[in-house]
Structure 1
């Protein structure tokens, strides 16, 4: 177990290696300016006039490297997501309703997240059709921004997580967990670049064993207008027990209705066999 945790830590620092050198370029005195700011917390919220621009973990698979401001609450949810998968003559479908990420800012650099799979309907069109429906699993996550929350072209965060097997009909009834390292880079002319490496300790219910999965992503975003933007992303996953990858091409528009409300829709298009293609509609709201 110790070796596994050390491996996760090393892997999740990899996305930030190319930009660590930029830390030495921070202007003299910037650290003292940051330290001189009021110490906001869960019980001493950041004033609304000083909130950072809202940053969300959705709609792409790449998580945000920025945390929610201290003392503020943010909801990000798939209002509806329809997934379809065909393999070896069998068709599987999954309809997810209100799979939400509930986020609470704890400090200037940290937030707590609870991901709730509110309701899921799964169908398998095999020789003996199967239908499952109900409440799914709950995932607890803690995001710690390492740098970039309060300015700069780049940002990096670490986010450990653990999945609780709360789903009865929908879920694998297993404890799982891992670590995510998201990286963000703000580019000129309203372009942005993001990447992450996620290392997960998953459970295979058929083989009755846990295994390590590595899931890298790369995403590019662009603001077309002040309130309208979009993204294109490639997301992959590798089961370390095998040599094959699974991958999707993701994309869609983003509409920033206000400083605290964002709507999005998009598609995750399967690039490999036995991979789900999904369509989604969601929103994010901050208070």
Structure 2
């Protein structure tokens, strides 16, 4: 998988009869409503992602490398999605004893479709439906331990003056924390996007997520800021930061990534 992704990133861009402006799914917490043009492929990779989760009893640091999503344009309004996390490192420190546990794992795979319902290029008012399933090819604590499924319904509005409003509600059959069975989880993400220049865009987002895990219900509130730089029509580099706003949420997340359209 790693060799395939690297090869795709390095391939020259082919000429296609139909095209539209590149609209990567990253960065940020939400999901864009746009789809990739038919015959095009987008490879989007998190080069490095660090999350810190501090609780009264322990601190957990998670590092993900090569968190990759491949989007394949099938028709004018439909794209297929393949995702996989190549490597994850989880370090857990017990604050009472000082003991440290570490785990190095690959993550799970994702299979999905995005079906755009209006304006597949993401212009004006755009909406889509994105169902997906996750397959337990990895192991806990990076993988979930069982299959899961969900659906996202991304919506975006062009507000003019280089501003856009984005909303991404999601409902999941999320894997239980013990890796056996599923439960209901849901989230809502709202974001304000700004085209800072012809090649730089920024997004501010807020997300609230509800999780009804059998071990205990939780509600996470998050805020996020991200930047995308597109030095070429088919390349994007991005950075982002996420802050937890309540006790259930992870304290902080920092990431950097790259996207390439073929």
* Fold equivalence (TM over 0.5): yes
- Who is 2:102 aligned against? 131
1:193 aligns with 2:161: no
1:282 aligns with 2:257: yes
Q: Unpaired runs of 5+ in structure 1?
A: 1-45
Answer whether contact 1:213 1:238 (CA < 8 A) is retained: yes
Larger displacement relative to structure 2 (242-251 or 74-83): 242-251
- Who is 2:3 aligned against? none
**Residue 129 of structure 1: how far off its partner (Å):** 2.2
Larger displacement relative to structure 2 (220-229 or 240-249): 240-249
TM-score between both structures, scaled by the size of structure 2? 0.87
- Who is 1:107 aligned against? 75
User: Quick check: which one's strand share is greater?
Assistant: 2
Q: Unpaired runs of 5+ in structure 2?
A: 1-13
**Residue 201 of structure 1: how far off its partner (Å):** 0.5
CA distance in 2, matches of 1:244, 1:278: 19
**Residue 171 of structure 1: how far off its partner (Å):** 1.6
Counterpart selection for 2:38 from 54, 60, 70: 70
Structure 1 219/171 Cα, relative in aligned 2: closer, same or farther at 3 Å? same
CA distance in 1, matches of 2:112, 2:31: 12
Bigger RCO of structures 1 and 2 (CA < 8 A, at least 6 apart): 2
Counterpart selection for 1:206 from 165, 178, 181: 178
Answer whether contact 2:145 2:180 (CA < 8 A) is retained: no
**Residue 64 of structure 1: how far off its partner (Å):** 1.2
* Over 6 Å off, 4+ runs: none
Answer whether contact 2:21 2:121 (CA < 8 A) is retained: no
User: Quick check: which one's helix share is greater?
Assistant: 1
1:82 aligns with 2:50: yes
Aligned length: 242
Counterpart selection for 2:205 from 211, 233, 237: 233
Secondary structure at 2:47's aligned position in 1? strand
Q: Which has the larger radius of gyration?
A: 1
**Residue 207 of structure 1: how far off its partner (Å):** 8.5
- Who is 2:187 aligned against? 215
**Residue 224 of structure 1: how far off its partner (Å):** 1.5
Give the alignment's Cα RMSD to 1 decimal.
Answer: 1.9
Secondary structure at 2:154's aligned position in 1? strand
CA distance in 1, matches of 2:135, 2:200: 36
Structure 1 213/226 Cα, relative in aligned 2: closer, same or farther at 3 Å? same
Secondary structure at 1:62's aligned position in 2? coil
- Who is 2:6 aligned against? none
CA distance in 2, matches of 1:168, 1:234: 30
Answer whether contact 1:56 1:63 (CA < 8 A) is retained: no
- Who is 1:7 aligned against? none
CA distance in 2, matches of 1:212, 1:235: 17
- Please show how residues 147-162 of structure 1 align to structure 2 within 5 Å: 147-149=118-120, 153-162=124-133
TM-score between both structures, scaled by the size of structure 1? 0.80
**Residue 50 of structure 1: how far off its partner (Å):** 3.9
CA distance in 1, matches of 2:80, 2:121: 19
